[in-house]
Structure 1
C-alpha cells in the first residue's frame, strides 16, 4: 500500500511553494501581467506552471516547515525578490511613458488624454501610442523571456533563505528610479528638438509679421512637425529598447548581489 508521510507532504509543498512566491511576485509587479485586464487567476495559474517547470532543477529547499515563522519569512523574501525585479522592468516602461507625455505636451496634445487601464489614470494619447510601441518591441525582442531567465538564474545567486534581504538592494532600486527622467528625455529628445526649432521659427515669424495669428498657424504646424518627427524617430526606438534590456540585465545582477543577506 502506498503511503505518504507528513514529512514528504511538507517537502513537496516547500519544493513548489517558495519558487511559486518568487514567480508570483514578478507577475503582480511586471508591467505586462500586472495590467488590470489580466485576471488574477491567470497570474496564479502561470506562476504555478512556472514553479512546476523550474522547481525540479533547483537546489533542494532547506529543511524548514512551510507553516512556520522561518517558512513565512522565506515566502516573504521570495515575494519581495519577484516584486523588485518586476518593478525594475516597470521603470523601463515608465521612462517610455514619460517620453510620450513630454512629446504630447510639446505638440499641444497634452489635453488629448484617454483612460489607460495599465496605469489606471488619464494618459495623453501620444504616451499611450508610444507605450504600446514599446510593449510590441519588448515582446518582439523576447524581453519577457529575458526577464524570466533573469528570475530563474536568481535562484543561484539568492537561494531560499529566511534571513532578511540586504538593504543595499532596496537603495539601488530607488536610485534606478532616476533613470526614468534620463531615458525619457533621451527618447523624446529628437521630437522635442524639432518642436523647439519650430517654436523658434514661429516666434521669428510673428516678430517679423505681427499681423500673423500665432494660434491659427502655430498649433497645426507644431502638430504636423511633431507627427513627422515621431514617424522618423520611431524606427530608432528599437535600439533604445535593446540598450534598456542590456541595462536591465546589469541592474538585475547588481540588485541580486546587493540583496544577499549579510
Structure 2
C-alpha cells in the first residue's frame, strides 16, 4: 500500500490526465470509434483500457507544472484528436458528396434519413455509400492502423506538445478542395448517364408527344442509375480505400 501511494504522485497524475486526453480525443473524432451507434460505456471502457495499457510507454513532458500549463496541454491534446479526425473524416465526406449528387439526379433528394453520426438529414444514397465505406474500412483493418498511430504518437510527439504547423494547414486546404473534385469524379458515371437519358427523353418527347415522361421516364431513369451504381460501386470503394490509406499516412504531419 505504501509503494502504491508513493507511485501516485503529482507527475504521475498529470501524465495520466494528458494521456487520457490524447486517447479520448483520438477516439472521439476517429472514424468508426466515434460512431454514435457504439455505446458510450463501451467507448469509455476502451479508452481507459488503452490509457492503462499505454501508460508505461508515456513520458512526462518538460513543462512547468501549474494549472494553466496543464489545462493548455489538455486542450492541445484534444485539438490534436480533432485535427486527426478531420483528416480521416474528409474521406467519408467525399462519399457523402458523391451520394448527394447521385441522389439529386435520381430524384431521391426528398428520400432522406437521419444520419446517426451527425444527427442531420442525409440523402439515402449518401448513407448507403458511407456504411459500405465503413465496412471497407474494417475489411482493410484500418481501425488497427489507427490504434497503431495512437501508440506511435507517444514516441513521435510528447504529450501536451502538439502545435499545428504550416504543412498541416496546407494539406487540410488541399484536402478540402479535393473533396469536391473527388465527389464529382465518383458520381460522374451516374450523373453523366442521367444527363444522357434526359437528352434521350427530350428527343422522345419531341417525336412522340404522347410519351408520358412522369410515368415512364423517371422509373427508367432510377433503374438505369441503380444498375450503373452497382456496376461502379467496386471502383468507388477502391478509390475510397486508396484515399483513406493516403490520409492515414499523412497523419504523420501532426508530428
In structure 1, distance between residues paired with 2:112 and 2:235: 25
**How far 1:66 moved relative to its partner?**
6.6
Q: For residues 215 and 128 of structure 1, do their structure 2 counterparts lie closer, same or farther at Cα, with a shift above 3 Å needed?
A: same
Matches within 5 A, 1:4-23: 4=4, 8-23=8-23
**How far 1:115 moved relative to its partner?**
1.6
In structure 1, distance between residues paired with 2:3 and 2:231: 68
Bigger mean CA deviation after superposition, 92-101 or 48-57: 48-57
Give the structure-1-normalised TM-score: 0.86
Say which SS state the counterpart of residue 70 (structure 1) adopts: helix
In structure 1, distance between residues paired with 2:105 and 2:65: 54
Matches within 5 A, 1:194-209: 194-209=193-208
**2:251 aligned residue:** 252
**2:119 aligned residue:** 120
The CA RMSD over aligned residues, in Å, is: 2.4
Residue pair 1:14, 1:65 contacting (<8 A) in 2 also? no
Structure 1 unaligned residues grouped into runs of 5+: 258-262
Structure 2 unaligned residues grouped into runs of 5+: none
**2:46 aligned residue:** 46
Residue pair 1:25, 1:80 contacting (<8 A) in 2 also? yes
Higher relative contact order (CA 8 A, sep 6+): 2
**1:131 aligned residue:** 130
Q: For residues 67 and 142 of structure 1, do their structure 2 counterparts lie closer, same or farther at Cα, with a shift above 3 Å needed?
A: farther
In structure 2, distance between residues paired with 1:43 and 1:191: 38
Q: For residues 156 and 207 of structure 1, do their structure 2 counterparts lie closer, same or farther at Cα, with a shift above 3 Å needed?
A: farther
Residue pair 1:104, 1:126 contacting (<8 A) in 2 also? yes
**How far 1:140 moved relative to its partner?**
0.9
**How far 1:65 moved relative to its partner?**
7.3
Give the structure-2-normalised TM-score: 0.88
In structure 2, distance between residues paired with 1:221 and 1:137: 30
- Structure 1 segments of 4+ aligned residues over 6 angstroms from their partners: none
**1:150 aligned residue:** 149
Bigger mean CA deviation after superposition, 78-87 or 175-184: 175-184
Say which SS state the counterpart of residue 32 (structure 1) adopts: coil
Bigger mean CA deviation after superposition, 213-222 or 13-22: 13-22
Matched, 1:180 2:183: no
**How far 1:235 moved relative to its partner?**
2.0
Bigger mean CA deviation after superposition, 66-75 or 91-100: 66-75
Bigger mean CA deviation after superposition, 245-254 or 212-221: 245-254
Residue pair 1:108, 1:222 contacting (<8 A) in 2 also? no
In structure 1, distance between residues paired with 2:136 and 2:189: 19
**2:74 aligned residue:** 75
- Number of equivalences: 254
In structure 2, distance between residues paired with 1:249 and 1:131: 18
**How far 1:77 moved relative to its partner?**
1.0
**1:234 aligned residue:** 233
In structure 1, distance between residues paired with 2:202 and 2:151: 56
In structure 2, distance between residues paired with 1:22 and 1:134: 26
Q: For residues 166 and 127 of structure 1, do their structure 2 counterparts lie closer, same or farther at Cα, with a shift above 3 Å needed?
A: closer
